[in-house]
Structure 1
Amino acid sequence: FRKDFMWGAATASYQIEGAWDKDGKGQSIWDTYAHTEGAIEDGTNGDITCDTYHKYLEDIKMLKRLKATHYRFSLSWSRLLPTADSSAPNAAGVAFYNKFIDGLLANNIKPCVTLYHWDLPQCVQDKGGWQSEDVVEKFKEYADFCFSQFGDRVKLWVTINEPHVQCGFGFGMGIHAPGIKGQFSPIYHTDPMNACYQVSRTMLLSHAHTYRMYSSKYRAKQNGLISITLNSDWCEPKDPSNPDHVKAAQFYIDATLGWFAHPIFKDGDYPDSMKEHILEMSKAQGLKNSRLPVLSEQEKNLIKGTYDFFGLNHYTTRLAEQITDETQAFAIHPDMPSFVYPDPSWERAGNDRLPIGSEWLFIVPTGLRKLLNYISKTYGDPSIIITENGCSTKHSVNNPGDTKQLEDEQRCRFITSYLNEALKAHLLDGVDLRGYFLWTLMDNFEWAAGYTERFGLYHVDFEDPARTRTPRKSAATFTKIIEE
């Protein structure tokens, strides 16, 4: 890899910080959602989780032992601005992140800061959240505050993490906060199948306005880089000789990666395949217009080119074929015509000692190389930073098994094999790869899976009030790769 390659680990505020109602912090949509009965697989929440708010110095020591050069973490909007008003910041929240950032830099670890990793302030949600036009100005105001407070030391920014996942899971399937679903949802409330598309527009505009504001107001003085992070599986046709399967695989990539990558990295607008298909589906439901918002020429020009690098989260690969009535229930947003699934011969990430594993994560290292090449060719050879990539173990609620699993051989193989494919993409294929952030530094609150899914290089004992961290074998494996 490059001499200045970024080696790091990644986390998110709600998943590790805890102190959910301490020192003036406001509530976020994940505080609300995780306290909703039936929302989380094991009935837990992120009230304390890893307690990073009180134990951040331990986290820094862990990163130093890993030999990490960088650390990607997110800021809690509601900890910094409890009422989402930048004129009334929470001094304790500002002080916490200042201490954290200064501590990282004192140990020669550069911060990569994500402004938004899914934990919208509940007070913003109460006024419409991402479905409201007002959120665009609110996000810009929040970002401006963060740049003014921390931008003298933070030189790598991510505006929004995995927007298509937030749109699909939070506003389509209703399985993430704020739990809005395209049909009746007992957990939260309902929406007539267009919330995820409304949200994609306000997220694109929020990102674009923030990028433009950073460029005009802060870039010359702070000299940082800013972009967005998009999640993408690699996807291939189940039968490459079947045109319907080929079309289904391409649509899946268009409607996940391309949903946000096309507007930002290509031409300012959604992929044609999405626009055509969603219009067709909308008309079939008796609507005159598409449920996918039309972006104006002014909006397209605003959005296009708002990146300094391509932030990529990647975990797994899928096969695709056209969807049927029987498989419709598995679609990740209301209009997906592709049915995607793993090849049963692929190794599943999970718990080798129990007959369970992660339902979604199958280990296909070659998919990363193919995806990196696809991004490079499709989006004009941008510099790419892998902002998340990792391997989980799965533990059932009734039979948690050995959550410690310090000899995590599967995760060691995952890290080595995926990084090897990334190196091939860089050295052999010419992909401009600048960094790799492993998900994740330590076990944490893994969203709707609670504590049943563990990705950590470090095991965290959630039964222990001290939240003791213990390195797994994979931590040593990752360190060795960084060193050599």
Structure 2
Amino acid sequence: MYLLLPLGFLWGVGSSAYQTEGAWDKDGKGPSIWDAFTHKKGKVFMNETADSSCEGYYKVKDDIQLLKELKVNHYLLSISWPRIMPTGIKKEQVNEKGIKFYNDTINSLLENKIIPIVTLYHWDLPQVLQEKYGGWQNISMISYFNDYANLCFEKFGDRVKYWITFNNPWVKGYETGEHAPGLKLSGIGAYKAAHHIIKTHAKVWHSYNKTWRSKQQGMVGISLTSAWGEPVDLTSQKDIEAAERYVQFYLGWFANPIYSGDYPEVMKNYVGRKSAQQGLGMSRLPTFSVQEKSYIKGTSDFLGLSHFTTRYIIQKNYSALKGPSYHTDRDLVELVDPKWPDPGSKWLYSVPWGFRRLLNFIKTQYGNPLIYVTENGVSEKLQCIQLCDEWRIEYLKGYINELLKAINDGVNVKGYTVWSLLDKFEWNKGYSERFGLYHVDFKKGNKPRYPKASVHYYKMIISANGFPNPREVNPLTTHMEMVTEIVVPTVFTLCILISAILLMFLLRKHN
């Protein structure tokens, strides 16, 4: 029996504006916090930037051809806020060339029968808002982002029916400083930024609901990233609690307010207790008012889920005296199994079974919401061209298989997106990590794209809507089976016949 997904299931690939578009200062685009961050030495591997990246701004038609080749149902893309509002403030300037670029992109996708799923924010905050107001540390971002979102609904919402407000809003740039804007506000900055982002998401959802939904008939969700946490010792209550705490601090931090109205209790307890031990009069984790809880709860028509890997978790108590930190607030340690496949990126191990467990956790925890998997994929860390990416094929096979099992468990997943279409700029890792189904030669000016073996594999999964007969999935396997099942027996039979004829000939000669 070969397993297929329900009819109407959406298969796609994704990318983001900053990582692929390039043209960082062309046609009226303003600088983003990532432009400013990467232009400082020592912030990114090899001091690489996304100034030109994949030249996606100039190669929309070429990339849509790749999407057509893959036969995807949807394409997940993001809009660059500073490309359509150079300063991030609507009343100061709207860039018509930027709006035309996204209009043309959306129209081209639809002409080719590809559904656009559009993310409003994939980390490229306008630099002016960071400089003037401190970015997501400032509550004024709520109204600026709402103006931007409403402009997007106005300009593109007649054709875009799936909107994602924020992709992976876990803002390392305000905690560890390893991402833009590069601020080290450990144990305070990320909580504050997240608080404002959650309130901004709710504001945008209500704006769409009130002004646009009846006309445009679309949906608004958020995309959250989470690994799965598995207890090291399943007989240890402390490890079991630590593993759940890991997921609550990761996914629940954002999902719980949206689905239940407030931060997870365990998060409030742990951050509150550590804050008290550090002599603070109040918790470093901000609080929502009663009105805010009610306003935020229920503000997602679907949950976008980005998932890549799993960790084993054990309990460990960290002294609060070492100072505030998101990582030590959790009182746990993350471990990996050395047997897990590791294609080269230190953080990304292939652990397919964790995917099904995370999906079932979401089903149980948040009332089985509608889910679209918005990112799932694996990188390689190889400097030479690797078009035969068999590890990516194995990764996709394992994770899609677990997705299918989760759907059979009753989890309400309606779409799956491979991350990503192209090799691209990977934030502070530069171009050293490659997630693409298509290899990009960044050394050549026109940034040519070359299909990896995983393109053919994913294309067959899409065409079959799941796992068909294995012979239909892997042409190499089919070829080898043909050799084994037809050619080998034929050659063997011929050898026996030739031997028999030679033997008869020798016997006659002897007689």
TM-score normalised by L of structure 2: 0.87
What are the equivalent positions in structure 2 for 1:250-399 lying under 5 Å apart?
Answer: 250-265=244-259, 267-323=260-316, 333=327, 335-348=329-342, 350=343, 357-395=344-382
Measure, in 1, the Cα distance between the counterparts of 2:104 and 2:149.
19
Measure, in 2, the Cα distance between the counterparts of 1:382 and 1:105.
27
Measure, in 1, the Cα distance between the counterparts of 2:219 and 2:240.
36
Q: CA deviation at 1:205?
A: 0.5
Q: CA deviation at 1:342?
A: 1.3
Q: CA deviation at 1:325?
A: 5.7
SS in 2 for 1:53: coil
Q: Which residue of 2 aligns with 1:58?
A: 62
Q: Is the 8 A contact 1:173 1:332 kept in 2?
A: no
Task: Choose 414-423 or 336-345, whichever is displaced more.
Answer: 336-345
Q: Which residue of 1 aligns with 2:174?
A: 171
Q: Which residue of 1 aligns with 2:505?
A: none
- Does 2:149 align with 1:111? no
Q: Which residue of 2 aligns with 1:413?
A: 394
Cα shift readout 1:190-249 (whole Å, capped 9, x = no counterpart): xxx311111111000000000010011000100001100000101111111122211211
Which of 90, 94, 97 aligns to 1:92? It is 97
Letter in 2 for 1:148: E
Cα shift readout 1:337-378 (whole Å, capped 9, x = no counterpart): 121121112111x2xxxxxx1100000111111111110111
Q: Is the 8 A contact 2:90 2:144 kept in 1?
A: no
Cα shift readout 1:7-64 (whole Å, capped 9, x = no counterpart): 1101111000000011110000000111111111221010000000011111100001
Q: Which residue of 1 aligns with 2:134?
A: 128
Measure, in 2, the Cα distance between the counterparts of 1:235 and 1:451.
28
Identify, as 1 or 2, the structure richer in helix: 2
Question: Which is higher, the Rg of structure 1 or of structure 2?
Answer: 2
Which of 178, 181, 184 aligns to 1:181? It is 184
Measure, in 1, the Cα distance between the counterparts of 2:29 and 2:432.
27
Letter in 2 for 1:41: F
Q: CA RMSD in A?
A: 1.5
- Does 2:168 align with 1:162? yes
What are the equivalent positions in structure 2 for 1:221-260 lying under 5 Å apart?
Answer: 221-260=215-254
Q: Which residue of 1 aligns with 2:86?
A: 82
Q: Which residue of 1 aligns with 2:32?
A: 28
Measure, in 1, the Cα distance between the counterparts of 2:221 and 2:177.
27
Q: Is the 8 A contact 1:236 1:319 kept in 2?
A: yes
Q: Is the 8 A contact 1:7 1:436 kept in 2?
A: yes
Letter in 2 for 1:278: V
SS in 2 for 1:85: coil
Letter in 1 for 2:240: V
Q: Which residue of 1 aligns with 2:487?
A: none
Measure, in 1, the Cα distance between the counterparts of 2:412 and 2:141.
34
Measure, in 2, the Cα distance between the counterparts of 1:18 and 1:109.
23
Letter in 2 for 1:440: S
Q: Which residue of 2 aligns with 1:187?
A: none
SS in 1 for 2:68: helix
Measure, in 1, the Cα distance between the counterparts of 2:128 and 2:438.
34
Gaps spanning 5+ residues in structure 2: where? Answer: 465-511
Q: Is the 8 A contact 1:182 1:194 kept in 2?
A: yes
Measure, in 1, the Cα distance between the counterparts of 2:272 and 2:236.
25
Task: Choose 201-210 or 339-348, whichever is displaced more.
Answer: 339-348
**Identity of matched residues, %:** 46
Measure, in 2, the Cα distance between the counterparts of 1:335 and 1:59.
43
- Does 2:208 align with 1:214? yes
Measure, in 1, the Cα distance between the counterparts of 2:397 and 2:314.
31
Q: CA deviation at 1:142?
A: 0.5
Q: CA deviation at 1:334?
A: 5.1
CA gap of 1:268–1:162, structure 2 versus 1, over 3 A, is: same
Gaps spanning 5+ residues in structure 1: where? Answer: 184-192, 351-356
Letter in 2 for 1:159: T
Which of 422, 430, 441 aligns to 1:450? It is 430
Q: CA deviation at 1:81?
A: 0.2
Letter in 2 for 1:474: S
Q: CA deviation at 1:84?
A: 1.6
Measure, in 1, the Cα distance between the counterparts of 2:124 and 2:329.
26
Letter in 2 for 1:119: D
TM-score normalised by L of structure 1: 0.92
CA gap of 1:449–1:25, structure 2 versus 1, over 3 A, is: same
Identify, as 1 or 2, the structure richer in strand: 1
Which of 425, 435, 438 aligns to 2:418? It is 438
